[in-house]
Amino acid sequence: MENNVLKWLKNIFLFSPKEPKYRFVLDDANNQDDNGGTDTSRQAKKDTEAKNGTQPKDEDKVSGRKAKNGKRTVVDGVKQPIPINEMNEKKREKKDSSANALFIDTSINVNLEYIKQRYSADINGDFVIREFKVIVMNKDYSVFICFFDGLVDTIVVNMSIIQPLMTLSTLPVNTKDQTVRDVVYNHLIPQSQIKICRTYQEVVDEVNFGGLGIFIDGLDVAFACDVKGWEHRNVEQPTSELNIRGPKESFNEINRKNSALIRKIIKDENLIVEDILVGERSKTPCSMVYIKNLANDSLVREVRRRIKSIKIAYLRDAGELEQFLEDSPYLPAPQMLLTERPDRVASYLSEGRVGIIVHGSPFAIVVPVTFFNLIHSPEDYYLRYPYATFLRLIRILGILFTLLLPSFYLAVTNYYHEMLPTDLLLAIASAREKVPFPTVISIFIMEIAFELIREAGIRIPGPIGPTLSIVGALILGQAAVAANLVSPILIIVVALTAIGSFAIPDFSLGYSFRALRFIYIILASFAGLLGISLGIFIHLLVLVHAKSFGVPFMVPFAPKTSGTRTNAILKTPLWKEEDRPDFINPKDIKQQAHISRGWLKRRGGANADETEDKDR
């Protein structure tokens, strides 16, 4: 038994892969032989046989021969197996594509029956089918429209679809050299957004997203109109990124509303909103937002490739999309920035980054980001640089408190008594005299209790939240001290830790530090400051190794970049931020002129465009 355990541990810690005899090349299923070998292994086998003096088999000499039964071919002397899984997958894809590509019939009855069956109209209460007749070129045609009640604007449907089809068809129209489809499209539907569909699936996709389908007897096409009118929130103030100065607008759950909020800030014709559907069933509209003459083409292609490669049935929120796009799923830090502020997205887009909007989510995704972007507040850009720098230093202090204060307290009180002044050491010892638990147990009790209070404060109804905070923070804390379960100084340590976590602007980064705090406490309980140092070393090593869409997570410090922009920790004056971040590789590195304050007279007598001023 012991030998087996030692052998198992030896295989884990002293594992050394052997050099393969032949180079392995991953190939597709069509290039495999009957035994599952690839062309490379087959060639190696032939080389071995030739070296040993043996002759290859007769079947290997056959080239380009096809079997009579059609089930197996022999190409270049190698039998090709039947890829069963691939054949089944292709048949399934072909079947699905043929069903989705079912073309619209010219018979109105066939179309009506298909739509009723596709949407289960007999039991689907909110699906509406309206049948009527129109007159086109002095001939009656049967028409029906279909839509979902609650997803469309009924006023637009009545005034822009049904009424024109019923009334405008009686007006004289020059129908020379025009078909029925042309007359309906050009004269009878005064709708701004109309699409001609040739397959049922195109109509179904539009109807599912708040559109309306129009089928006319005798036409092999249908018309889909954009008449969305679902209920949604208005533009409100941000709830998770509050600020004193700056805009008070936030995103809502409508994709086009969110893109319009960004366009209202960035009035640039180069701003691109590229739509991509994600979700094989939900077909959730997502939009890539970038400025085409600023964003790097490689970055845009990479974001597009990752979004289009996602295979998921339903996509409901930007948080789900974030988990499919991130580089390292197990990294204890967010690799993307989720924000509900359009002004923040606009500022990052102007640097050459890419934004992602998900329909149904009030948060937009910004990529790539660094660790320092996550500790920046949206308000930093609207404050003078001394105030913004001071607030950033306060946030960094809060991060240190959240991450290291409980573990540092545990290490000092357990292992390094000489670091404390005598009076403070006696005060801590006297306060802990009647506490029956070790310090590490007391810290875990208070930290877990505070996390429970925080989580309960989020889940309970709003009016009860302040009451719970008062009860949890004051009454329970005072009762724990009175019951000699914890020491009073530990209450101060836990309170400072909690306050520091609230100072982190990004809530995802706050979750990361709250979880890592417990790991540092465990390390401090085992090895004191040495354990904390080891944890910091490993933590920084992981962060330095991480990337966000190819950009190092700790840039511009690790690795050090050559750019002149120094807006990572200390806020620089806005008129000094002349360059965009060089690690994003934007197409235009210059953000503003060298002398952006044109009113300022310089000793050299230069204007804002750096030309000589003769009047000075």
41 vs 456 pLDDT, higher one: 456
What's the pLDDT at 462? 66
Nearest partner of 222 among 317, 325, 122, 103, judged by Cα? 103
Q: Name the residue with tokens 């009506």.
A: 112
What's the pLDDT at 9? 55
Query: What angle do helix axes 297-308 and 318-325 make, rounded to 10 degrees?
Result: 110
- Opening angle at CA 592, ends 588 and 593, nearest 5: 115
65 has which bridge partners?
74
Candidate from 92-96, 374-378, 511-515, 584-588 with smallest mean pLDDT: 92-96
- Opening angle at CA 133, ends 129 and 139, nearest 5: 150
Q: How far is CA 610 from CA 77, 602, 607, in A?
A: 74, 10, 5
* Segment 315-370, tens digit of pLDDT: 999 999 999 999 988 898 999 999 999 999 999 999 999 999 999 999 999 999 99
19 vs 415 pLDDT, higher one: 415
* Segment 101-139, tens digit of pLDDT: 689 999 999 999 999 999 999 999 899 999 999 888 888
| Rounded-to-integer distance, Cα 368 and Cα 571, Å | 20
Q: Which two tokens stand for residue 608?
A: 């804002």
Judge residue 205's burial from the number of C-beta atoms within 10 Å of its C-beta, 0-12 exposed, 13-18 middle, 19 or more buried: middle
Candidate from 73-82, 341-350, 444-453 with smallest mean pLDDT: 73-82
Distance of alpha carbon 173 from the chain centroid: 51
Q: Which two tokens stand for residue 431?
A: 């306060």
Provide the residue type at 615 as one letter: D
Q: Where are the beta strands (DSSP E) in 189-267?
A: 194-197, 211-216, 222-226
What average pLDDT does this structure show over 16-27?
Answer: 41
What's the pLDDT at 507? 87
pLDDT reading at 60 higher than 80? no
473 vs 102 pLDDT, higher one: 102
What's the pLDDT at 25? 36
Candidate from 128-137, 280-289, 298-307, 429-438 with smallest mean pLDDT: 429-438
Candidate from 74-78, 435-439, 482-486 with smallest mean pLDDT: 74-78
Largest CA distance in the chain: 105
79 vs 513 pLDDT, higher one: 513
Q: What is the CA radius of gyration of the chain?
A: 34
What's the pLDDT at 342? 94
What's the pLDDT at 236? 87
- Cβ 153 vs Cβ 228: under 8 Å: yes
What average pLDDT does this structure show over 266-292?
Answer: 92
What's the pLDDT at 460? 75
108 vs 456 pLDDT, higher one: 108
Candidate from 2-16, 42-56, 434-448 with smallest mean pLDDT: 42-56
What's the pLDDT at 468? 65
Among 58-62, 393-397, 432-436, top mean pLDDT goes to 393-397
Residue length, the chain?
Answer: 616
162 vs 67 pLDDT, higher one: 162
pLDDT reading at 74 higher than 50? no
560 vs 320 pLDDT, higher one: 320
- Cβ 563 vs Cβ 386: under 8 Å: no
Nearest partner of 135 among 171, 182, 189, 174, judged by Cα? 171
* Segment 191-204, tens digit of pLDDT: 888 999 999 999 99
Provide the residue type at 70 as one letter: G
pTM beyond 0.85: no
Question: pLDDT band at 425, cuts 50/70/90?
Answer: confident
pLDDT reading at 416 higher than 60? yes
What's the pLDDT at 301? 94
Q: Name the residue with tokens 């040739």.
A: 198
Provide the residue type at 470 as one letter: I
| Rounded-to-integer distance, Cα 260 and Cα 258, Å | 5
Question: pLDDT band at 461, cuts 50/70/90?
Answer: confident
% of the chain exceeding 70 in pLDDT: 77
